[in-house]
A and B are shown apart, each in its own frame.
Chain A
Amino acid sequence: MSAGVQALEGVRIVEFGGYAAGPHIGKMLANFGAIVVHVESMSRPDGFRMQYPPYKDGKPGINAGGCFAYFNDSKYGVTVDLKNPEGRKLAKQLADWSDIVIENMRPGVVGRLGLGFEELCRSNPDLIMLSTCNMGQTGPRADTPGFGSQLTALAGMCGLTGQPDGSPNLLYGPYIDFIASTLGAAAVLAALEQRRRTGKGAYLDVSQYECGLLFLAGPLLEYRASGKVVARAGNDDPQAAPHGAYRCRGEGWMALSCWSTEEFVRLCEAIGRTDIARDPRLATLAGRKSNATLIHGAVSTWARDREAHEAAVLMQTAGVHAHAVNTVADLFTDSQLVSRRLWRRRRHPVIGDQAYCFPAFDLSDTPGDITAAGPVLGADNERVFREFLGLSEAEFKTAAAKGAMD
Chain B
Amino acid sequence: MLQGIEVLDCTDRSGWLAGRLLADLGAEVTKIEAPGAETSCSDWRALNVNKQLVRIDLTSSAGQTELYRRAANADMLIATPNGDSAEIFDYTRLSAVNPRLIVTAITPFGLTGPKADWLASDIEIMAAGGAMSLAGEPGGEPLRVSVPQSYAWAGSQAAVGALMALAARGRTGRGQLVDVSAQAAVITALAHAPTFPDIAGTTPTRAGAFMTGRSVAGAKYRVFWPCRDGFVNFILYGGSAGRRTNEQLVAWMRERGFERGPLETIDWARFDPTRASQAEIDAMEIPIAHFIGSLTKREFLEGAHKREMLGYPVSNTADITTDPQLEARGFWQDIIAPDGHTERHCGAFVVVNGTRPPLAQFPGETEPTPITERGA
Contacts and interface: CB of A to CB of B under 8 A. Distances in A.
Chain A interface extent, by class: 35 or more
B26 to A, nearest CB: 7
A165 interface: no
B129 interface: yes
Contacts of B41: 218
A354 B176 contact: no
B18 to A, nearest CB: 9
A328 B203 contact: yes
A324 B315 CA distance: 31
A349 interface: no
A230 to B, nearest CB: 6
A321 interface: yes
A3 interface: no
A321 B2 contact: no
B51 interface: no
The 10 A-B pairs with the shortest beta carbon distances in the complex, nearest first, are A173-B191, A218-B43, A361-B161, A189-B163, A255-B127, A360-B184, A54-B200, A66-B195, A339-B113, A365-B176
Contact of A354 (B17, B185, B195, B223): B195
A359 B349 contact: no
Given A8-B167, A150-B235, A178 B204 contact: no
A4 to B, nearest CB: 12
Interface in B35-71: 41-47
A331 B142 CA distance: 16
A325 interface: yes
Contacts of B320: 155-156, 213, 216, 220
B325 A253 contact: no
Contact of B176 (A55, A150, A322, A366): A366
A55 to B, nearest CB: 8
Interface in B6-44: 17, 20-22, 25-26, 41-44
B213 to A, nearest CB: 8
A330 B130 contact: yes
A370 interface: no
Interface stretch (A77-85, A231-239, A277-285): A231-239
Interface string A128-143: 0000000111111110
A234 B183 CA distance: 21
B124 A230 contact: no
A257 B124 contact: yes
Given A139-B325, A183-B21, A193-B166, A366 B172 contact: yes
A144 B122 CA distance: 33
A372 B52 CA distance: 43
Contact of B192 (A28, A52, A179): A52
A236 B141 CA distance: 12
Interface stretch (A86-94, A199-207, A286-294, A390-398): A199-207
Nearest to B109: A336
17 contacts: A51-B239, A53-B196, A142-B325, A155-B315, A162-B143, A168-B224, A177-B191, A182-B157, A191-B1, A214-B152, A219-B147, A316-B118, A325-B133, A328-B193, A328-B196, A334-B128, A354-B198
A170 B208 CA distance: 6
Contact of B141 (A56, A207, A234, A328): A234
A205 B351 contact: yes
Contacts of B22: 186
Interface of B: 1-2, 4-5, 17, 20-22, 25-26, 41-47, 91, 104, 109-110, 112-116, 118-137, 141-147, 149, 152-154, 156-161, 163-168, 170-172, 174, 176-185, 187-200, 202-209, 211, 223-224, 230-231, 233, 235, 239, 241, 301, 305, 308, 310-318, 320-321, 324-326, 328-329, 331, 343-347, 349-354
A322 B128 CA distance: 9
A28 B160 contact: yes
Given A329-B197, A339-B114, 7 more contacts: A146-B312, A183-B349, A194-B1, A204-B351, A360-B180, A364-B178, A365-B176
Q: Chain B at the A interface: mostly helix, strand, loop or mixed?
A: mixed
Given A193-B2, A336-B113, A237 B123 contact: yes
A360 B187 CA distance: 8
Contacts of B233: 149-150, 153-154, 158, 168
A175 B191 contact: yes
A220 B346 contact: yes
A388 interface: no
A156 B310 contact: no
Contacts of A189: 160, 163-164, 166-167
Contacts of A376: none
Contacts of B167: 7-8, 11, 32, 189, 192-193, 196
B127 A325 contact: yes
B183 to A, nearest CB: 7
Interface string A320-349: 111111111111101111011011000000
B191 A336 contact: no
A221 B43 CA distance: 8
B105 to A, nearest CB: 9
Contacts of B318: 223, 229
